[in-house]
Structure 1
Amino acid sequence: MNIKSANHYKQLSINRKVILIVITLLLIGYIFCLPSQLFNVSYSTVVADRNGELLGARIASDGQWRFPPRTTTPEKVKQCLLTFEDKHFYYHWGVNPLSIGRAIYQNLKSKRIISGGSTLTMQTIRLARNESRTFGEKFIEILLATRLEFRASKEEILSMYVSHAPFGGNVVGLDAAAWRYFGHPAEDLSWAESAMLAVLPNAPSMIHLSKGRKALLDKRNRLLKALYEKNTIDQSTYELAISEPLPDEPHPLPQVAPHLVSRFYQEQNGKYLISTLDKDLQVQIENLAERWSNEFNRSDIRNLAILVIDISTNQVAAYCGNVHFGQKQTGNQVDVIQAPRSTGSILKPFLYYAMLQEGSLLPHTLLPDIPININGFTPQNFSLQFEGAVPASEALARSLNIPAVTMLQRYGVPKFHNFLRQVGLKTLNRPSSHYGLSLILGGAEATLWDVTNAYANMGRSLLKLPQTRSTLLISTEKATDEPDIFQPGAVWQTFDALTEVNRPEEIDWKSIPSMHPVAWKTGTSYGFRDAWAVGVTPRYAVGVWVGNATGEGKPGLVGARTAGPVLFEIFNLLPSSSRWFERPTGVFVEAEICRRSGHLKSRFCEEVDTMLILPAGLKTEACPYHHPVTLSADETHRIYENCANTEPTIQKSWFTLPPVWEWYYRQHHPEYSPLPPIKPGCGEDSMQPMQFIYPPMNAHIALPKQMDGSKGFITVELAHSNPNTTIFWHLDETYLTQTQDFHKISLQPSIGKHSLTAVDSEGNSVSTTFFVK
């Protein structure tokens, strides 16, 4: 080979390499020319119920009604689109040369652009790029369309197109168009509706519902005729379809569970979300809420929230965050289910449960219901009355405040605060010392969501189900493993007490076979600002809140009168459970319980019941109120040893409460018998017959001023077991006065420390110290 040939061959090899490199670069460029995310647009937030029925949506951030992309195309819509836009869609590779050639011929003949020859794949690319329509852009569309065919299936390309096609105004995509123009899902579109939506993206700015209606109708009917001529639809379907009128105007989207939809819009914007709600039940609950709200509005109570949790699935079945969402009244936009509100008495069952579980209380243990003053904290019952002593279960059922405060004082505020945090009350974000004993009476805030979830988990403990927070979205994600807080034994005893809460109907529900038990509790916050009611059955946990989102109190805003009736109407609406929770097995032991005190039987208790209690309850105190006494033969006096040998006596066991308890207890229990007096000359009474009601030991008292500016008074009071005795009063060793029957006097002590002493006619005395500031 000569030098010239060698150089020629060498040059030819270089050219081939260059060509190969160019081809390789072009191939790489072609492979990577299509963006990984074809559509870079914002989407509406769309929320459906558990069955896929639309609850509501929020517009995309660019102001378009553009639902999240579909993955399938309804068959009717598909047939209409292919017939109208791209008959050979399944036979080309993104570009149809015949359509391109025909478009070029038509445009040259008309000397203007009347056809683009675009396939559905090319139109999909054009929608994604959203660039001006030029010959250069057309070439890019052709190139990217062929590349898209390599990446996606025909069904995927069709779904991309129908999800992003313009349908007039700010309506984008098939789903938004179906709801806006016809008020139902795309899967339910008729042939006429499908045909209208198929022709609409062809010129959405020229023909739509408010302009060019005749042109739109003609295009739709021509498409329907083409479908008939190719035997896609039969004659009767064709005739029915062309007789359907066009919609008059866009439909509003559904507004079901609007507060939940708004919440998802804030938390998961631009997604299609399937919630756990049942749309039919949600609509019924919302109608019920609106009706009750209209009733409460007469008393200027403007807001109401309802949460329904399915116990077995731990899913939210209904979520009514407030009422009158569409009205711009104060507070209607607030999702009260998530808003911290004062708890009132709604937390009392948790304390009752905790003390049962710990073994520091038995279900019917007597608790004091007397005036108390704990470092200036003076709680009152709702009735402003005192009953001396009340069984714990009854105190819970009747929501008495003073026994609850006494229980919390025994249990400990820090421990209870920690327990509430464990059961899910996340709003208790301050130290326990901030709340103090008022924690049990509404001194803290909680959300209806947290409280209802905690009650639901109590029910789930009895069904032996995991105790997790309820879900709002259908998801395949597994719930995180969390330790079970509630134990079934103490929950069973707590629910047993809560089924005794008086219902709003004022009827004996137990005598009516169709009515089933409900463990429920109400709460009313200080100042009548919040009314609560939460109830649990084996199927549902329901939480109701009534009040004003602004925090404004109203005199009639009481849980039992407002939230309670709503709660039971909801339970009447829900499918009822045919059976109550089964009593847990293997968690209780039998014990002999004093019938009168609710304590473990002491050796002096004569009336005893055998009851099932938790093993921890065996460490509680034996009955301290029964003790032996020696009486005269006629039982009118007590006899001491120095007189017992001189006359006939009898031995009896006697039930005696502390003097202050006794003083109030006797007013409500006429069967109660105080101890007979000691027989004169037989010694002194070893039992203290009297006790100060007010002031308690070491109380700090601020004297209010009178209207004229003078110093105010304090009223001191004492209870005595003998109503006929005389009491002699002394302040700082200075005699004041004497009283009979009702032992109450008013004082005007000076600032500083004082000692108050009372002496009865038998010589018994009692003293207390207090401080005036």
Structure 2
Amino acid sequence: MSKSLNVNKRKAWRYLRYFLAFFFILFFFCLPKQLFDDPFSSVVLDREGVLMGARIAPDGQWRFPLESEIPSKLKKCIIRFEDDYFYYHWGINPISISKAFVSNLKARKVVRGGSTITMQTIRMARRQPRTILEKMKEAIWATRLEFRYSKDQILNLYASHAPFGGNVVGYSAASWRYFGHTATALSWAEAATLAVLPNAPSAIHLSKERESLKLKRDKLLRKLYEKGDISETDYLLAKEEELPHEPLALPQLAPHLVDKLALESPQKEVITTIDAGLQSKMEALLNEWNRKYQQHHIKDIAAILIDVETSEVLAYHGNSGFSTKRVGSQVDIIQSPRSTGSILKPFLLAAMLDEGKLLVNQLLPDIPININGFTPQNFSLRYEGAVPAAEAISRSLNIPSVYMLKDYSVPKFYDKLKKLGLSTLTKPAGHYGLSLILGGAEGKLGEITAAYMHIAQIALGKSSTYPKYRLGEEDILWKPTYSAGSSWQTLDVLKEVNRPGEIAWKMLPSIQTIAWKTGTSHGFRDGWAVGVTPKYAVGVWVGNATGEGNAELVGGRVAGPVLFDIFNALPSSKWFERPKDAFVDAEVCRQSGYLKSRFCNDVDTVLILSQGIRTPSCPYHHLVHLTPDEKYRVYTSCLDSEETIEKSWFTLPPVWEWYYKAVHPSYQVLPPFKEGCGEDYRQPMQFIYPQMNAEILLAKQLEGSEGSLTLDLVHSNKEAIIYWHMDGNYLGETQFIHKFTISPKDGEHNVTVVDNQGNTQSVHFSTTSKL
């Protein structure tokens, strides 16, 4: 009998151990690995944690991602209102449950709850009907939850998933929706209001049950005072605070950026480099300009502000009118490819200076050009024959820039732009050709502004930094694309660009020095202005996102004033210091900008980049021998040496000369050779139009007659007689003005001219009358 009893006891204990093990396993695994699977809103903050904007969660709720810690005021309010013994129980409070049971039994209805904060957290996660069995499950899960998380983590889970009325979930979203600021800035009255809302979220309808809500809040404030959590002064002041009247709209700073980051990092909290104060200031300024420009049918405007020292984006205005839903207002111009116009020209200047291909004031041709049908023109539709490289860039002249690119090479410049971070160059270099420098490619405002910032950073002496503008925490290094010397000299050229609407701006000491450049796309569709100082880089775009052109859309006129308005709102800084050891002394021809040749008389000793020593000497000064009256040139063998004058003469090629002398009255044309005393060693005449191998379309006239073209030639001797021939046939002669109109048939043609001194010149071209 005793033996049988012992066997039964052992079995009983074995079964008990099995049951306890089964219960422990069931208890251990009863709680899901992820308690809540609710989707979050996408939240974007500035550098200091200020809310810039948010996008609603996929389930239509305003539910912000979990904060690391619940603010202390709200923590105290929730605990005093919901669960005074929160820090002393293991998920269930038997005393509270017993009191609730007695109260509800006496009232014969539910008048008091016994759930702890932990149990309420479980109830929100399970979302099951409230039954006795469900209460038991909640109690078990709550106990298990206490073993997984700390008390503060559980409290944060509760406050972050509690309903706060309407479609507002969690204290972070509620703080912004009802009070317009972060939860860390809650007053005692605001914290108490949020603490009582989950108990009766329908009360926040704000037009209903306001008195009941206020009574609950004030009762909680009284309890906080009695428990010693707040002073009497805090209590009395808190009671006087009004309840919110209606939910507030969330902030809408940089909405295009918020959209971008919400798409890239959905359901997350993203901390950006944006400065909310600067962002608000820039948005107000740009919206004012936008209202002004809309009167002229220019509807869109965008700008970006970057800190040069850190590469951090401080302000980001993708476009104006985001909330208006106006056509085009949703387009983020900062990220949109747009025709670049002339905005890329400084990068070509820097590249050529860097490689010793020209000096900064070296003369460049400004004459008509036709390269395989590509016939660019200056914005003014005029030519000046020759201009210094620096002036060509500061005045944004197209023709000299094309000649620069032709000399430098399109593929090399294309690769340079790619290294600068321009992601929009998606086709081979040959696709863009020489038009690359005049807007033949597209660029993004953000990337182009960052490229200007790049030059400024190099001029400051940075050896490595961030490659593009930074919006978050990415940390990728790049190698400088230019030398410090060429970067500094390019910026020095750009600071000479004339400012819009200002007279004698250089004489105003209060205006900060800015290196800047404008651009206007073909068809007047895009107006650009980008500027840099040692502290900031600013990029501005003005136009119509739909691509509609407007004759007033000129970069200097519309984007320039906006650029300087932004800079005027920013702290000024000292100009870039010239890099040490990057420059050397050199003698430079004052007229041509080239290194001095042996025939240059007017010479300046200036600082040039050390690689500039490789550039050629002046090709435009020649030693000539003149008759005593300086009317004719002669060979020294023609007259006695005593009867000749030896003189250095500045001479440009014939076509250059033709246009140059019109804007430079002091230019002296080289005298002709005295008859019998020599012949010109250079070609005295040159075709202006057409250029060699040009392809010409001859449109028929309205009455049906064949189209025509006018041949145009210049000769250094204004009295020369020119004899014209085409395809072996004599056409006629001209004197003084050398123009000849012809109506050739479709096909290839050769025109040859001969002057009365026997000099010849030919040009080959083709014509067609078919489109």
Question: Partner of 2:558 in structure 1?
Answer: 562
1:190 Cα deviation (Å)?
2.0
Of 152, 160, 179, the match for 1:163:
160
Counterpart in the other structure of 1:230: 227
- Mapped partners of 2:616, 2:15: distance in 1: 99
Partner SS, residue 394 of structure 1: helix
Residue pair 2:312, 2:469 contacting (<8 A) in 1 also: yes
Residue number among 466, 469, 482 corresponding to 2:467 in the alignment: 469
Q: Please tell me whether the aligned partners of residues 492 and 584 of structure 1 are also in contact (alpha carbons under 8 angstroms).
A: yes
1-side partners of 2:223 and 2:477: how far apart? Answer: 59
User: 1:53-202 maps to which residues of 2 (within 5 A)?
Assistant: 53-202=50-199
Q: What is the CA-CA distance between 1:480 and the residue it aligns to?
A: 2.1
* SS of equivalent residue, structure 1 residue 507: coil
Alignment of 1:337-348 (within 5 A): 337-348=334-345
1:224-282 Cα distance to aligned partner (Å, 9 max, x none): 22223333333343333222222211111111111111111111111122211111111
Q: Which amino acid aligns with 1:103?
A: A
1:250 and 2:251 correspond: no
Residue 626 (structure 1) aligned to one of 610, 621, 640: 621
Q: Which amino acid aligns with 2:355?
A: E
Q: Which amino acid aligns with 1:146?
A: T
Amino acid aligned to 1:562:
V
My pick for the range that moved more, 209-218 or 700-709, is: 209-218
Contact 1:276 1:471 in 2 (8 A): no
Deviation (angstroms), 1:764: 2.3
The secondary structure found in structure 2 opposite 1:299 is coil
Query: Paired residue for 2:680?
Result: 685
Q: How does 1:129-528 map to 2 (within 5 A)?
A: 129-205=126-202, 208-465=205-462, 466-475=464-473, 479-528=475-524
Secondary structure at the aligned position of 2:541 is classed as: strand
Residue of 589, 594, 599 corresponding to 2:594: 599
Instruction: Return 646-655 or 431-440, whichever deviates more.
Output: 646-655
Judge conservation of contact 2:467–2:478 (CA < 8 Å) in 1. no
Residue 23 to residue 727, structure 1, CA distance change in 2 (3 Å): same
Distance 1:5 1:358 in 2: 107
Q: 1:761 aligns with which of 756, 764, 768?
A: 756
Deviation sequence 1:116-149 (CA, Å, 0-9, x none): 3011111112122222212222112211212222
Contact 1:457–1:486 (Cα < 8 Å) also in 2: no
| One-letter amino acid of the counterpart of residue 468, structure 1 | Y
What do the CA deviations read for 1:437-494 (whole angstroms, capped 9, x no partner)?
Answer: 111100101100110111111111122332423454453x5x1232222321111111
Number of the residue aligned with 1:706: 701
Paired residues of 1:309 and 1:470 also in contact (CA < 8 A):
no
5+ residue gaps, structure 1, are none
Q: Would you say 1:672 and 2:667 are equivalent positions?
A: yes
Q: Which SS does the other structure have where 1:753 is aligned?
A: strand
CA contact (8 A) 2:74 2:192 kept: yes
Query: d(CA) in 2 for partners of 1:473 and 1:125?
Result: 38
Once residues 384 and 461 of structure 2 are traced to their aligned partners in structure 1, the CA distance between those partners, rounded to angstroms, is: 39
The whole-number CA distance in structure 2 between the counterparts of 1:666 and 1:704 is: 33
Tell me if 1:532 matches 2:528.
yes
Aligned equivalents of 1:645, 1:244: Cα separation in 2: 109
Between 215-224 and 552-561, report the one with greater CA deviation. 215-224
Give CA-to-partner distance per residue, 1:576-623, whole Å, 9 cap, x none: 11x111111122233222221112222222222223223332222221
Encode CA deviations 1:695-739: one digit per residue, 9 max, x unaligned. 112222221111112211111111111223332222233332332
How far apart are the structure 2 equivalents of 1:712 and 1:108? 106
- 1:507-527 deviations in Å (ceiling 9; x for gaps): 222222211211100000000
Q: CA deviation at 1:687?
A: 2.0
The Cα shift of 1:353 comes to 0.9
Classify the secondary structure of the residue corresponding to 1:769.
strand
The count of corresponding residues between Structure 1 and Structure 2 is 767
Amino acid at match of 2:544: N
CA deviation digits over 1:92-116, x for unaligned, max 9? 1221110111122222233333333
Question: Separation in 2 of the partners of 1:38 and 1:187?
Answer: 25
Structure 1 residue ranges, 4+ long, deviating more than 6 angstroms after superposition:
none
**Counterpart AA for 2:656:** W
Residue equivalent to 1:49: 46
Aligned residue for 2:359, secondary structure, equals: coil
Cα deviation, 1:49-92, whole Å, max 9, x if unaligned, reads: 11122111111111111111122222222222122111111111
Can you give the 5+ residue segments of structure 2 that lack an aligned partner in the other structure?
A: none
Q: Distance in 2 between matches of 1:378 and 1:641?
A: 44
1:33 counterpart = 2:69: no
439-448 vs 26-35, which moves further: 26-35
Alignment match of 2:720 (pick from 718, 725, 737): 725
Aligned equivalents of 2:391, 2:576: Cα separation in 1: 21
Letter of the 1:713 partner, please give it. S
8 Å contact kept, 1:178–1:184: yes
Partner AA of 1:648 in structure 2: E
- Aligned CA distance change for structure 1 residues 735 and 358 (closer, same or farther; 3 Å): same
Using the size of structure 2 for normalisation, the TM-score is 0.96
Given that residues 311 and 470 in structure 2 are in contact (C-alpha distance below 8 angstroms), is that contact kept between their aligned partners in structure 1?
Answer: no
- Aligned to 2:638, the other structure's residue is in SS state helix
RMSD over aligned Cα atoms: 1.8
Which segment is superposed worse, 288-297 or 627-636? 627-636
The offset of 1:636, in angstroms, is: 1.4
CA deviation map 1:424-443 (0-9, x unaligned): 00010111111111111001
Distance 1:609 1:15, change over 3 A: farther
- The answer to which of 388-397 and 506-515 deviates more is 506-515
User: Under a length normalisation based on structure 1, what TM-score does the superposition of the two structures give?
Assistant: 0.96
Show the counterpart of 2:569: 573
My pick for the range that moved more, 754-763 or 557-566, is 754-763
